[in-house]
Amino acid sequence: MKSGYAVIVGRPNSGKSTLLNNILGHKVSITSPKPQTTRFPIHAVYEDERGQIIFVDTPGMFGKIEDPVSKKINPLTEKSLKNNVDVVIYLIDHSKDRDFEENKIFGLIRPIRKPKILAVNKIDIKKPSFLEHYLFMENEFDKMISISGLYKKNINYLLDAIFDYLPIGNRIFKDEGRATPLLNLNSKTFSAEIIREKAYIFLRKELPYSLTVVVDEITPRNNKTIFINARIITNNAHYKKMIIGEKGRMIKEIGMAARKELQTATNQKIYIDLTVEVNAHWHEQLL
């Protein structure tokens, strides 16, 4: 059998998390229109009769680092490319032209002496297309595959290629009792990520990249309800008002959406007590 680590890299919003979620058939990484929604590498396991792939979904890399959050996140992707790598999947979004971010990532990948797959994502989008600006990269990779992570097109070919390049070996992860494919997120972290995703979706462009979520408590209640106590933390009192919304409508919407998704994921009744606080230095405790 085959087993090993497959690291997914790419620029922000190239579709890494959507691709991984659809490969696994289970949500393990949050998605949103905001760049760099993923803040730390997500480890998740895929298995079939051929063997086991440990996927590592990395944060999208910014070419220019202008905020304290990105300063902490970017090095994590670089580190992921140096540790436990058997195959690199470089995901590009052909509907966006190459720029400094793409050049920076390509420069990191180029010297890696491991099998590398160039995955051209979002082929469901016909126009605009800048594919010709990426074709020169093909010679630097062992294989080039066109896919749609969103619509699961050609994902089977991508999995075939990954298994072709993985080394022969025993299963790396052997916990038969795991409930999800996730390997490195506990229930508090996963719940916090779902709430953060819903905050990004509902707030859209109204809120800058300036919030985080902390889950302080997850407790089963006698009525078979899981009680979650969580805080949305932002760095400005003005943003706090926006997150709460008029008469508390926004935070209620965020909480309801998170509750529904967590109920679906856990198959249990969920109650979320969600509050908002201001801490200008929350990013100092990040990661």
User: pLDDT digits over 83-97, tens only?
Assistant: 778 999 999 999 999
In a domain, 146, yes or no: yes
Which tokens hold the place of 194? 């779902």
Q: Could you tell me how far CA 273 lies from the centroid of its own chain?
A: 25
What is the pLDDT, as a whole number, of residue 48?
A: 92
Top mean pLDDT of 172-181, 188-197, 226-235 is at 226-235
The binding site comprises 10-17, 57-61, 121-124
Do 44 and 116 lie in a common domain?
yes
Compute the mean pLDDT over every residue in the chain, rounded to the nearest whole number: 84
Domain count, the chain: 2
- Is residue 273 over pLDDT 90? yes
> Once rounded to an integer, what is the mean pLDDT over residues 259-285?
87
Whether the Cβ atoms of residue 12 and residue 101 lie closer than 8 Å to each other:
yes
In a domain, 138, yes or no: yes
What is the pLDDT, as a whole number, of residue 67?
A: 56
Alpha-carbon distance of 280 to 277, in angstroms, equals 10
Alpha-carbon distance of 230 to 277, in angstroms, equals 11
Nearest to 1 by CA among 161, 180, 172: 172
Do 278 and 192 lie in a common domain?
yes
Furthest-apart CA atoms within the chain: distance in Å: 61
- Is residue 72 over pLDDT 60? no
102, 132, 165 - which closes a domain = 165
What is the pLDDT, as a whole number, of residue 143?
A: 96
> Once rounded to an integer, what is the mean pLDDT over residues 35-44?
66
111, 134, 165 - which closes a domain = 165
Tens-place pLDDT, residues 243-270: 999 999 999 999 999 999 888 888 889 9
Residues pairing with 146 in the sheet = 120
216: containing domain: 187-285
In a domain, 105, yes or no: yes
What is the pLDDT, as a whole number, of residue 133?
A: 92
Alpha-carbon distance of 152 to 219, in angstroms, equals 36
The more confidently predicted of residues 189 and 217 is 217
The binding site for GTP comprises 10-17, 57-61, 121-124
Do 51 and 149 lie in a common domain?
yes
In a domain, 253, yes or no: yes
What is the pLDDT, as a whole number, of residue 28?
A: 74
In a domain, 32, yes or no: yes
In a domain, 224, yes or no: yes
Do 152 and 38 lie in a common domain?
yes
In a domain, 16, yes or no: yes
The more confidently predicted of residues 286 and 285 is 285
134, 165, 196 - which closes a domain = 165
- Is residue 237 over pLDDT 80? yes
- Is residue 286 over pLDDT 70? no
- Is residue 118 over pLDDT 90? yes
What is the pLDDT, as a whole number, of residue 201?
A: 86
Do 273 and 148 lie in a common domain?
no
Do 8 and 130 lie in a common domain?
yes
The more confidently predicted of residues 39 and 114 is 114
- Is residue 285 over pLDDT 80? no
**Which segments within the chain are labelled E, that is strand?**
2-9, 42-48, 51-57, 87-93, 116-121, 143-146, 211-220, 225-234, 269-278
Would you place residue 12 in the very low, low, confident or very high pLDDT band (cuts 50, 70, 90)?
confident
The CATH number of residue 154's host domain is 3.40.50.300
> Once rounded to an integer, what is the mean pLDDT over residues 99-119?
88
> Once rounded to an integer, what is the mean pLDDT over residues 58-65?
58
The CATH number of residue 238's host domain is 3.30.300.20
Do 65 and 120 lie in a common domain?
yes
Alpha-carbon distance of 9 to 88, in angstroms, equals 7
Whether the Cβ atoms of residue 54 and residue 87 lie closer than 8 Å to each other:
no
Do 151 and 225 lie in a common domain?
no
What is the pLDDT, as a whole number, of residue 248?
A: 92
In a domain, 174, yes or no: no
Do 121 and 16 lie in a common domain?
yes
> Once rounded to an integer, what is the mean pLDDT over residues 129-137?
93
- Is residue 69 over pLDDT 60? no
- Is residue 55 over pLDDT 70? yes
Which tokens hold the place of 133? 């600006």
Do 145 and 203 lie in a common domain?
no
Alpha-carbon distance of 20 to 155, in angstroms, equals 10
Do 115 and 235 lie in a common domain?
no
Q: Could you tell me how far CA 243 lies from the centroid of its own chain?
A: 23
Do 152 and 224 lie in a common domain?
no
Cβ-in-10-Å burial (0-12, 13-18, 19+) of 73 comes to buried
